[in-house]
Amino acid sequence: MTGDEPLEEPEELRTDGGERSSSDLRSDGGAAGADDVALDPWGSSSVSDYRNLFEEFGIEEFDEILPEVPNPHYLLRRGVIFGHRDYRPVAEAMRNDEPFAALSGFMPTGDPHIGHKLVFDEIIWHQQQGADAYGLIADLEAHAARGLTWDEIDEHSRNYLLSLLALGFDPEEGDLYRQSTNREVQDLAFELGAEANFSEFEAIYGFDGETDVSHMQSVVTQMADILYPQLEEPKPTVIPVGPDQDPHVRLARDLAERMRFFKVSKAYASFELDDDERELVAAYYERLDPADFDDDALRCVHVADELERTPLEELDVSPDTLGSVVSKLSEAGKEPVRPRTRFFDRRATDDAFEALIDAIDGEKRVYESHIDAFDLDLEDAESLAKAVEVENGGYGFVPPSSIYHRFMTGLTGGKMSSSIEASHISLLDDPQEGYDKVKSATTGGRETAEKQRELGGRADECPVYELYAYLLAGDDDEFAKEVYDECVDGDRLCGGCKEQAAELMRDFLANHQEKREEVEDLLEQADIELESPRRG
Ligand code: TRP
Ligand code: SF4
């Protein structure tokens, strides 16, 4: 990929809906797809095995933190939202009534469809749980990465915004903006851009010499979008997106970290250790008894000797790590090994560095570019570093969290794609057209009614069942489960099942479109420019 190709379809629609196994699907509503893993924000990402995302990319399973989430939305309960990065601080803020934020962005490249509705619902639900909620229009990205004209962008943006409001977003409590007119976002993007370089973009996005500069600018803009909710004060922030956006989330988490004034870590002596080295020294510090050494003190050289005496097989580290740690320890010689908390000066101002020195209680030692504190635990040190940073003009960013939803399967099987009309349902589709599309959808049914009664349907492989689980059953878990159970037990036949789904879809669309009309005024009053003065 070049990272620069025009996009075929919006991210929510990309899925191969490949091989599935029934164990992937939840009888209470979730559905699963699977194949090779490629996370590319502008390519045709497909996700066939969600489990790979956990192993390969370190995305965590949402189920594990579900019990920590108050009043979970049905998309969370049903496993439609299958994964997250670092959602815990968000859940905790929610439980403790502390500030937190939710933000997502939409490229206005076409009509909003039922895939976007998942994200709209996620933002709205977080807003209802007390989040500062943000919905942004990624117009710069649509223009730079997808080549849309500003007129097209304005038209689509309006449609996204009307649907977001119609579904319940409160524009008085929350924020709406478009990238192109948000000066603060642009300024922040510029600052963040100073912490990222082209090689990184190459590695993350596959950009190359042909990638245009505006496309790159749209990336730093997205980084700024993601951190924007924290401009006034740092707070946990969740970014609900499809897993194709994970590269952006990871980069934003990295940049958030790089913008911090201080890096706080544990240390054992005056010199720096990397994570592996530190682990090794920590283990020896725990194991060795100072009483066994000459003057009842454990010194660096003692640990070095012990390490050298231990066969490499027993150490579980690379020879490089061992070599480096031994040489650092030997060089430090008689220096005692003493655990401490270290504040490393990453990009602090002189004033902030001085302020931190003053703020540290107890024994401390000040070096050229770090401070060691001996009476502070790691957690207290982290919050002290943040407080000093924020008081001294820094951002103090909390690494942003994310949640990931499953891509929907196309109604015609395979990918749901906005370029295949019959495969998806737009929120602007005429209700009757929505009805018709559902009626002609492929199903997980058997060849004959008789076989269906005997073997049961394959709800796990059925796009119609997905519609129930992701949308039509709404908050009613009982109903979703009933459809599933009846299907797999052979008590439900596809004709009637589709008729029911089609009617529900018709009602949903009619109702949604009515609400869209009702919120026209709300949109006019909202603080967002609906027409771009830009040309081209
Ligand atoms: N890149 C996203 C997309 O392709 C849109 C986007 C821009 C976004 N800024 C964002 C998404 C911030 C989440 C958060 O749709
Ligand atoms: Fe799908 Fe319904 Fe047929 Fe089951 S009965 S396979 S859920 S259409």
pLDDT digits 0-9 by tens, 46-87: 666 788 888 888 999 999 999 999 999 999 999 999 999 999
- Is-contact 497 483, C-beta < 8 A? yes
Q: 412 lies in a domain?
A: no
If asked whether residues 211 and 70 sit together in one domain, one would say yes
| pLDDT classification of 23: cutoffs 50, 70, 90 | very low
Q: Looking at 407, 438, 462, which one is the last position of a domain? A: 407
433 and 363 within one domain: no
Q: State if residue 139 touches ligand 1 by the CB under 6 angstroms criterion.
A: no
Does residue 17 sit within a domain?
no
Q: Is 83 left (phi over 0), alpha (psi -120 to 50) or beta?
A: beta
Is the pLDDT at 22 greater than 80, yes or no? no
Q: Cα separation of 499 and 401, whole Å?
A: 40
- 122 shares its domain with 208: yes
Q: Which residue has the tokens 């002609």?
A: 440
- 111 and 245 belong to one structural domain: yes
pLDDT in tens, 513-535: 999 999 999 999 999 999 999 98
Are 74 and 190 within one domain?
A: yes
Ligand 2 close to Cβ of residue 446 (< 6 A): no
Longest dimension (CA), the chain: 88
From 279, 326, 290, 332, select the one nearest 306 (Cα to Cα): 326
Residue 230 pLDDT > 60, yes or no?
A: yes
Q: What is the DSSP string of 303-324?
A: HHHHHHHS-HHHH-S-HHHHHH
Look at residue 262 and tell me whether its pLDDT is greater than 90: yes
Q: Is the pLDDT of residue 297 over 70?
A: yes
Residues 311 and 452 in one domain: no
In a domain, 287, yes or no: yes
Section 293-308 average pLDDT: 92
Say if ligand 1 is within 6 A of residue 494 CB: no
Q: Whole-model pTM above 0.85?
A: yes
Ligand nearest to the backbone CA of 401: 1
Q: pLDDT tens digits for 410-438? A: 999 888 888 888 999 999 999 999 999 99
Q: Is 141 in the pocket of ligand 1 (CB under 6 A)?
A: yes
Give yes or no for residue 269 CB within 6 A of ligand 1.
no
At 171 the pLDDT is 97
Ligand at minimal distance from the CA of 492 is: 2
Residue whose CA is at the smallest distance from ligand 1 atom 11: 105
Q: Quick one: tokens of 525? A: 């009053």
If you average pLDDT over every residue of the chain, what do you get? 91
User: How confident is the model at residue 57, as a pLDDT?
Assistant: 87
In a domain, 24, yes or no: no
Domain of residue 134 covers: 50-259+398-407
What is the rounded distance in angstroms from the CA atom of residue 48 to the CA atom of residue 59?
15
The domain that contains 492 carries what CATH number? Answer: 1.10.240.10
Instruction: Tell which atom from ligand 2 comes closest to the C-alpha of 441.
Output: 8
Which pLDDT value is given to residue 38?
65
Of 238, 235, 239, 250, nearest to 395 by C-alpha is 235
Residue 473: phi, psi to the nearest 5?
Answer: -80, -10
* Ligand 1 pocket test target in 44, 225, 402 with most atoms within 8 Å of CB: 225
287-291, 373-377, 493-497: least confidently modelled range: 287-291
Q: pLDDT-based confidence at 122, cuts 50/70/90?
A: very high
CA 316 to ligand 1 center in whole angstroms: 41
- Are 228 and 107 in the same domain? yes
Residues 425 and 384 in one domain: no
Residue 386 token pair: 């943040």
Give me the pLDDT at residue 2, please: 39
The residues, ordered by sequence, that sit 6+ positions from 59 with a Cβ below 8 Å of its Cβ are: 53, 83, 84, 85, 243, 246, 404
pLDDT at 13 over 80: no
Ligand 2: does its nearest atom lie under 6 Å from the Cβ of 498? Answer: yes
Residue 489: inside a domain: yes
With beta carbons less than 8 A apart as the criterion, state whether 269 and 338 touch. yes
Over residues 447-479, the pLDDT tens digits come to: 999 999 999 999 999 999 999 999 999 999 999
Distance CA 523, CA 442 (A): 37
Q: What is the pLDDT of residues 127-138, one digit of tens each?
A: 999 999 999 999
**Cα separation, 159 vs 171, whole angstroms:** 15
Identify whether 536 is part of a domain: no
Q: Coil, helix or strand for 149?
A: coil
Number of structural domains the chain divides into: 3
Q: Are residues 472 and 502 located together in one domain of the fold? A: yes
Residue 86's CATH number: 3.40.50.620
| Ligand 1 centroid distance, CA of 456 (Å) | 40
Lookup: tokens for 337: 């090994």
Say whether both 121 and 74 belong to one domain. Answer: yes
Cα angle 302, 308, 311; round to 5? 135
Please enumerate in sequence order all residues whose Cβ is within 8 A of that of 436, keeping only pairs 6 or more positions apart, or say none: 502
Give whole-number Cα distances, 170 to 101, 138, 165, 343, 525, in Å.
14, 20, 7, 41, 12
> How confident is the model at residue 358, as a pLDDT?
97
In this structure, of 50-54, 179-183, 336-340, the range with the lowest mean pLDDT score is 50-54
Nearest to 104 by CA among 117, 92, 113, 88: 117
The phi, psi pair for 100, rounded to 5°, reads: -155, 165
For residue 5, pLDDT beyond 90: no
Secondary structure (3-state) at 414: coil
Average pLDDT score over residue span 8-13: 33
pLDDT in tens, 183-220: 999 999 999 999 999 999 999 999 999 999 999 999 99
Residue 325 lies in a domain: yes
Q: What is the 3-state secondary structure (H, E, C) of 255-307?
A: HHHHCCCEEEEEECCCCCCCHHHHHHHHHHHHHCCHHHCCCCCCEHHHHHHHH
CB 411 within 8 A of CB 424: yes
Cα–Cα distance, 165 to 176 (Å, whole number)? 10
Q: Which of 194-203, 290-299, 327-336 has the lowest mean pLDDT?
A: 290-299
Pocket test for ligand 2, best of 440, 494, 504 (most atoms within 8 A of CB): 494
Give yes or no: residues 267 and 370 share one domain.
yes
Q: Which of 109, 118, 222, 255 to mutate to test the pocket of ligand 1 (most atoms within 8 A of CB)?
A: 222
The residue type at 483: V
From 165, 186, 88, 176, select the one nearest 133 (Cα to Cα). 176
Q: Minimal CA–CA distance to 115: which of 220, 202, 241? A: 241
Distances (CA, A) of 436 to 371, 432, 470: 68, 6, 19
Indicate whether 161 and 120 sit together in one domain: yes
- 28 in a structural domain: no
pLDDT at 16 over 90: no
